[in-house]
Structure 1
Amino acid sequence: MDKKILFRVGGVVILAIALFFGYSEFRYLQRHETTDDAQIDGDVNPVIPKAGGYVKEIRFKDNQFVKEGDTLIVLDDADYRIRVDQAEAALQSAMAAVGVSRSQVNVASATVQSSQASVQTARDQVATAQANVAAAQARARKANQDFDRYSRLLAEKTVPQQQFDVAQAERDAAQAQLLAAQAQLQTAQSQVNAAGTQTSVTSSQRRATQGQITVAQSTIKQRQADLDMAKLQLSYTIVRAPASGVVSKRSVQIGQLVQAGQAVCSVVGNTNLWVTANFKETQLHQMVPGQTVDIDVDAFGGEKLTGQVGSFAGATGAKFSLLPPDNATGNYVKVVQRIPVRIELDKKSPLYAKLRPGMSATVAVDLQK
């Protein structure tokens, strides 16, 4: 009899305990949304050379921690240095061409100034010749008048032959001087025209040379750009870490030819980790950013982290798949979809430094907080 009573009491106790834990679980599920479809996520930065070449040095080992900017790979840079030398030589040649053109402009400017002085001198000579012509014309007119008067007087026998001969000689001398003065005037005018033509030609040459300077200056800019590009390409032969983290998944060896844009390894950042939890769409109606989240990472055997709901994805995971579902095909089967939810982790937790992207986790969102 005592055994039956003891058995019944034990059954009642077990039932009470089961009811207690069942009620506690029920209350817990009323306040929380849970899922085991979750994993640790982080930034995985691919290391991609910007220039191609043969691998000369590898300065890291797999799973080594590196800092942002550390040198990871050195490519053979002989070809790129030759291109830099060629670009520098082309730039020096263009600059020398500008110097020669400027010297030619200076010479042409000096020649123009000299020609302009020659023109002014020739014009002064023309003015002098014109004055001499005017004086010779006046003397010739007077000599002609005297000759005509003495011719009449000689016909009337009122002057001796000697005076007539003097008047005739003066007339002939005046005519000769007039012809000489006119010849000098023509010569001076010819010198003016020649000097003006030379000035015009030299000015045209100067303008043409100035145009060459403009072209040469444009060439200098182009050669400078080529040099900058060559130096930039040379700098790309040093492949540096894009971020701080652990280098993994090395896929390159010394002596291997790599191409620009080819991924050679990855740097896994460990300073910005989060959890991506894929909740069913029916679990989201009470979930909002800022709610507290308990996170159980499978790798740590029950040790928990805390976090907060950060944000919700813009579409379901199926919509981002390679072949998203299309329910307008006639064969429709309703499937509960899952929405990726980003959960921000507490970086002060001692487990944070041990986390690695890809680890599986179970999360529980407290809907009351």
Structure 2
Amino acid sequence: MEDQPKKKKSPVRFIVIGLVLLVGGYFGWKFYYHSAHFENTDNAQIETHFSPVLARVAGYLQTVTVSDYANVKAGDTIAIIDDKEYQLAVQQAEADYAQAEADLEQAKADLAAVQADIKAAKVGVDNANLNVKAVATNAEIIAVRRDKAFQDYQRDQKLLAANAITPHQLENSKASYEEQVKAYEAAIDQQAFSSGGVNTGQAQVVKAQAQLQRIAAQQRRAEASISVRKSQLDQAKLRLSYTRIVAPIEGKIGRKNIEPGQYVQPGQTLCTIVNDKNYWVVANFKETQLDRLQEGQPVDIHLDAFSDMKITGKVASLSEATGAKFALLPADNASGNWVKTTQRVPVKINIDDPDHLKGVLRAGLSVEVDVRVK
């Protein structure tokens, strides 16, 4: 029996094998190229700033002006607390401040009056001193006249004994002497009285000066009270202003936790505002990838929510600690059940031109990043 001729192998099989090898080589080369030039992770999320809106004073909410996910601008009213109690506090503080001002004005008036009394008393003392000097001078003059009259009287006594004058002339000389003696005694009394006036005036000055010190102390207390009352008034007005709760930044309301009629406490979070202008990515790379990462390297960002959207960025900074170190309950590696695991390090990536992405990006969106390392 003759051998049958061998069938030729179909070239299709070789073509398929060639295509498989070609495609496999292409993707293998692509994987190698990507691994050599990029560091990749899908453990990444969009991040932004969250600003809590807090109550600064206690009270019942009268009005809530925003809803969930509403757009707000900085300074927009979020809610209003019933302010009747705080208005009364302002009115009381204003009354106390007005009373303190009146007390200060009264103290100033009393101080001016006492200063005028001191000035008048000093003028009186000066006048009394001048009067004392005048009276003393007059007493000296009268003393000279008295001594002269006494000498004349003694001379006339001798002249009468020599029959040089008449007894009537001697009587006149004696009367003149006695008159000068009485005048001198009156001058001495007047001098003593004038000295007493000086002492009285000086006592009045001392008394007025003591009163001046007391009133000056009252004025200082009134001035201090003014400062205290002014501070209390400012504080009352400030607390009244806190009844209007406003947005600290521009953005979008997250989830609000308040309704009208609800009682709020100072420090209570009423809602959270999401900053919709400043987004970035936090990517958690394995510790084995860190040696190829540097600040400033370009990054391709792929959003799971928008697969056809191309976003670029740059590495901004690398964390100084692994993510596990920031955990609420960090792992205790000193325990006997330690198992070595690859740690991840947070890396911040700034997004290029984030303004044109407003309304698209959301905090918490999952992304995949490719950092170009070559």
The separation in 2 between residues aligned to 1:258 and 1:304, in whole angstroms, is 45
Query: Which of 93, 96, 100 is residue 99 of structure 2 equivalent to?
Result: 93
> Do structure 1's residue 189 and structure 2's residue 195 form an aligned pair?
yes
Q: Deviations over 1:300-341 (max 9, x none)?
A: 234332111111112100111112233234444322110000
2:83 is the alignment partner of 1:77: yes
Preserved CA contact (<8 Å) 1:305 1:351:
no
Query: What is the distance in 1 between the residues matched to 2:67 and 2:285?
Result: 38
The RMSD of aligned alpha carbons is: 1.9
- Residue 29 (1) aligns with residue 40 (2): no
> Does the 8 Å CA contact 2:278/2:354 hold for their aligned counterparts?
no
SS of 1:82's partner is: helix
Question: Is 2:329 aligned against 1:323?
Answer: yes
**1:103-142 matches, cutoff 5 A:** 103-142=109-148
In structure 2, C-alpha distance between the alignment counterparts of 1:101 and 1:175, rounded to whole Å:
55
| Offset at residue 121 of structure 1 (A) | 2.0
Distance 1:28 1:97 in 2: 84
Superimposed CA distance per residue, residues 122-149 of structure 1 (whole angstroms, 9 cap, x where no aligned partner): 2222122112211221122122223333
Is 1:339 the counterpart of 2:345? The answer is yes
Superposed displacement of residue 349, structure 1: 7.9
Q: How many angstroms does 1:34 deviate by?
A: 0.9
Residue number in structure 2 paired with 1:143:
149
Tell me, yes or no, if the aligned pair for 1:67 and 1:243 is still in contact at 8 Å.
Answer: yes
Q: Does 1:62 align with 2:68?
A: yes
Amino acid at match of 1:189: S
- 8 Å CA contact 1:116–1:199 kept in 2: the answer is yes
2:174 matches 1:168: yes
Q: Which runs of 4+ in 1 moved over 6 A?
A: none
- Asked if 1:210 corresponds to 2:221, the answer is no
For 2:13 and 2:280, the matched residues in 1 are separated by: 51
What amino acid does structure 2 have at the position aligned with 1:92?
A
Which residue does the alignment assign to 2:294?
Answer: 288
SS in 2 for 1:171: helix
2:285 equivalent to 1:275: no
Structure 2 unaligned spans of 5+: 1-6
2:292 is paired with a residue whose SS is coil
Change (3 A) 1:135 1:350: closer
Q: Distance in 1 between matches of 2:75 and 2:20?
A: 63
Contact 2:277–2:355 under 8 Å retained in 1: no
Structure 1 position 237, deviation (Å): 0.9
Question: Which AA in structure 2 matches 1:335?
Answer: T
Q: C-alpha separation between the residues in 1 aligned to 2:354 and 2:131?
A: 101
Residue pair 2:279, 2:354 contacting (<8 A) in 1 also: no
Quote the offset at 1:159 in angstroms.
4.0
Structure 2: distance between partners of 1:3 and 1:140? 175
- 1:254-265 matches, cutoff 5 A: 254-265=260-271
Deviation string 1:206-252 (CA, Å, 9 cap, x unpaired) is 23322322221122112111111111111111111111111021111
Q: Which moved more, 1:294-303 or 1:146-155?
A: 146-155
Shift of 1:153: 4.4
Offset of residue 197 of structure 1: 1.5
Deviation at 1:154, TM superposition (A): 4.2
Amino acid across the alignment from 1:356: R
CA distance in 1, matches of 2:191, 2:357: 110
The amino acid across from 2:258 in the alignment is: V
CA distance in 2, matches of 1:188, 1:277: 102
Distance in 2, matches of 1:353 and 1:365, equals: 25
Q: Which amino acid aligns with 2:367?
A: A
What CA distance in whole angstroms lies between the structure 2 residues aligned with 1:329 and 1:151? Answer: 139
The 3-state SS of whatever aligns with 1:300 is coil
1:240-251 map, 5 Å: 240-251=246-257
- Contact 1:40–1:357 (Cα < 8 Å) also in 2: yes
Q: 1:15 to 1:311 in 2, by over 3 A?
A: same
What is the distance in 2 between the residues matched to 1:62 and 1:237?
21
Please give the residue correspondences for 1:347-358 in structure 2 after superposition, counting only pairs within 5 Å. Answer: 347=353, 351=357, 353-358=359-364
Secondary structure of 2:232's partner? Answer: helix
Give the direction of change, closer, same or farther, for the CA distance of 1:349–1:31 in structure 2 (3 Å limit).
farther
Counterpart amino acid of residue 325 in structure 1: A
Equivalent position of 2:47 in the other structure: 41
Contact 1:112 1:202 in 2 (8 A): yes
Q: Deviations over 1:7-45 (max 9, x none)?
A: 232122122211221221122112111111111111111
Aligned length in residues? 368
Bigger mean CA offset, 331-340 vs 342-351: 342-351
TM-score, normalisation: structure 1: 0.94
Does structure 1 residue 222 correspond to structure 2 residue 217?
no
Tell me the CA shift for residue 352 of structure 1. 5.0
TM-score norm. by structure 2 comes to 0.93
Bigger mean CA offset, 333-342 vs 351-360:
351-360
